[in-house]
Structure 1
Amino acid sequence: MRLRAVRISRSPLLPLFLLISTALALWPAAPSTARPASCEPSVPYESGTDGYHTFRIPAALQVPDGPLLAFAEGRRDSAADDGDIDLVLRRSLDGGCTWQPLHVVADAGEDTVGNPAPVIDPDSGDVVLVTCRTIGGATKRQVVAGAVAGSVRRVYVQRSTDDGLSWSPQRDITASVKAADWRWYAVGPGHAVALRHGPHRGRLLVPANHSAGPTARSGAHSIVSDDGGLTWRVGYLSPGGDEPLALNESTLTELPDGRVYINSRDHDRTTEGSRADAYSADGGLSLSVPFRPQPMIEGPVVQGSVLQVRGLTGDEPLLYSGPSDPGERFRMRVRASGDGGLSWRPVWTVSEDRAGYSDLVQTGGGTVGLLYETGQRTYHDTIRFTRLPWVWRLLPELTVSQGEVSGSAR
């Protein structure tokens, strides 16, 4: 049976129950775990609190049968990308409704620590966290321009054996994952993945980017670990010599068929749109389909997040989150793909406010959450957490827009 697209007006004459009853009539009942107790969207981070000028760069991770973790950069003195920046964490024991007090995961004095990329090691159950640090007070501009040695930009890994309550010291893995001629380097930001299928099951896969060469052009790569985060090496590498894209801040996920889907920001917007995507068929070690522009995801030059939803019907969609205004960081929107990233359509406009970086997370059953930067004054006034309305399961026929689902249904 073909389902007809449903659009619900903002008018109070068409209340929320009409949307929900339509969805229930057209879709099989979902497991009870997919329908969490309602709670309002929450704000784990508000700039100007806890001794920090600004919080930015969210990353979310659900510990199986444990807390929801919300990572961020705590910027001490300004909103700038450089300077005294700590890596901070808040935990939620109720699926993102409320949050425990802020905890500092990594503090390098006046240096910059950031770009959180967390993942669960499936063998040990530990939380593995990959981050970057800029040492010696250097700035990104200096590193990219070659005014300081590229070695000041470094890569670290930490782990927690108690669901984020405590953390090991940062361990430097730069020598194994950064080529000698690379200058700038960043992982994520946003969640990494542990592969679930095929011969590479259990592999930890982290998206990353680097700059190199006379033009310091940005390129995408991955780093992989096959021993639970103890040792690391570089996986796929792009661009090639004729690559027109300037790729950074990638996000990736494992598709149901075992392929890895990678979606990247085209920093220089050198081709149509600001996003590009690629595929890997060998667990992130190489690209089976190279990066090419993805014009169906419209938005400004900004980080985004992808998530392959799992565990409902076996035919769940691939989701993407990011601001949708073509030129500015406004209007956070979630898009969905039913064909593994070949095509996309909008399914929920989260807010019309200013919006920046984001991270999608599946918190249990069919529940999907979004941790994202937003505000009315700036796009980083707060980092907000909200749940997606469950009616997105009606894809590809149902589109839900801002105002069509009340805040209590988020």
Structure 2
Amino acid sequence: MPATRRRTLTCLAAGLTALAAATLATPAAHANSASGQARCTSSVPFVSGQGGYDTYRIPAAVRTRAGTVLAFAEGRVGGAGDTGNIDVVLRRSRDGGCTWGPMSVVAAGGGDTRGNPAPVVDPRSGRVVLLTSYNSGKVTEAQIMRGEVTAEQSRRVFVQSSRDDGRHFSSPREITADVKRPGWRWYATGPGHAVALTEGPHRGRLVVPANHSVAPPAGSADTGQEPKYYGAHALLSDNGGRTWRLGFVEDSYEGVDNANESTAAQLPGGRLYFSSRDQHGTSTGNRLDAYSGDGGRTLERPYRVQPTLNDVPIVQASVLQAAGHRAPLLFSGPSVPTARRSMAIWASTDQGATFRRKLLLSEQPAAYSDLVQTDRATVGILYETGVRGTYETVEFRRIPLRDLG
């Protein structure tokens, strides 16, 4: 082939490659001439293998008072595992999740594990309050659950905040002594957005769903892996996140309904709805729920199986009470009971008594997710997905609320 033609083809191939890369990096968006705001279907704020991290996991999202969408995730340095050198990272979107600013590190692991982001916007001050969990990067979850670690190495709880719309956060401040009972072993905040109460007598309260494990009774084999020793609880703050205390503690530990990773939504009128992963309980179903009528201080009844969500596998999920007249309570999670794939959204019009699946996002692998309302007409879902594997990307999908009613 003549040299001139080879150079021409080489330049053409390079141009096509650059165009493809630009297309992948840019969400499917178009300009709205009336408002000047970008509209899009989806975007990808986190791609595993990019930005200095092997894997991104554990998404959480909130919308600030200024309308900025904040997308949090764990940036895992050494691999996809749950322990090791892990940072909490953040990207900001000023256009409802269509495009994203540069990534920043909110809580650096420095060789240790920081994760399980649970952000919430304080309704009084507008500050973004973030709770996270910590453990030494040299220990595993199994060691923590068996009680083989020191208090310093074990799971600890931290809070930090932002006064400038998520651009900068304060340094993590430890609150473990206020929210973790002696004897608790594993501990996890959220993950996913927390709740700020805007109605009722506890208006202004911040409520963070969480979970824990305890040691087996004396005389039992202390394997640390017995799922019946899991329980859910809530963290409460009535002063914008400055101080924290425990709310309800689900501590039956009977092995039938094993409340684990939890999420919450404020229903119309101020009542709280809690949804939890059932960690290998003996009851039929993988999702549990409960209610609180006193701002998370106590539960109206114990967690029990939500049978209309039996298609969901054992996995973290998200709930969100959409805003608007007769807006539904939404739930997101994978929709294959035996596998993490086929992310879907369900809706409830009876305050969580029953759910109906409304939308299947795709049939690809998918796992953890978080829901956020980006404007009056749109809901966003930030979720783990991929083509060949579950944790290849963290995608943000925008969905018209009318499609979920």
SS at match of 1:146: coil
Assess if the C-alpha contact under 8 Å between 2:83 and 2:137 holds in 1. no
What is aligned with 1:282?
294
Structure 1 length normalisation: TM-score? 0.85
Identify which of structures 1 and 2 has the higher relative contact order when contacts are C-alpha pairs closer than 8 Å and 6+ apart.
1
CA distance in 2, matches of 1:243, 1:330: 27
Assess if the C-alpha contact under 8 Å between 2:288 and 2:306 holds in 1. yes
What is aligned with 2:132?
131
CA shift for structure 1 position 150: 5.0
CA shift for structure 1 position 326: 1.2
Assess if the C-alpha contact under 8 Å between 2:63 and 2:69 holds in 1. yes
SS at match of 1:289: coil
Assess if the C-alpha contact under 8 Å between 2:255 and 2:281 holds in 1. no
SS at match of 1:168: coil
CA shift for structure 1 position 47: 0.1
Assess if the C-alpha contact under 8 Å between 1:150 and 1:182 holds in 2. no
What is aligned with 2:68?
67
- Once structures 1 and 2 are overlaid, which stretch shifts more, 171-180 or 214-223? 214-223
For structure 2, the residue ranges without an aligned partner over 5 or more in a row are 1-33, 217-221
Q: How many residue pairs end up in the alignment?
A: 360
SS at match of 1:199: coil
Aligned-pair Cα RMSD in Å: 1.7
CA shift for structure 1 position 353: 0.3
- When Rg is computed on C-alpha atoms for both structures, the one with the higher figure is 2
CA distance in 2, matches of 1:140, 1:354: 24
What is aligned with 1:182?
184
CA shift for structure 1 position 302: 0.3
Amino acid in structure 2 at the alignment position of 1:60: A
Cα deviation per residue 1:269-301 (whole Å; 9 max; x = unaligned)?
A: 421110000000000000012210112112210
- Write the mapping of 1:203-242 to structure 2, written as runs, cut at 5 A: 203-214=205-216, 217-240=229-252, 242=254
What is aligned with 2:44?
43
What is aligned with 1:383?
394
Do structure 1's residue 316 and structure 2's residue 318 form an aligned pair?
no
CA distance in 2, matches of 1:166, 1:385: 22
Amino acid in structure 2 at the alignment position of 1:90: R
CA distance in 2, matches of 1:279, 1:85: 33
- Once structures 1 and 2 are overlaid, which stretch shifts more, 280-289 or 384-393? 384-393
SS at match of 1:296: helix
- Write the mapping of 1:280-359 to structure 2, written as runs, cut at 5 A: 280-297=292-309, 298-310=311-323, 312-313=324-325, 315-359=326-370
Amino acid in structure 1 at the alignment position of 2:235: I
What is aligned with 1:196?
198
SS at match of 2:373: strand
CA distance in 2, matches of 1:243, 1:335: 27
CA shift for structure 1 position 37: 5.0
For structure 1, the residue ranges without an aligned partner over 5 or more in a row are 1-31, 396-410
CA distance in 2, matches of 1:300, 1:45: 24
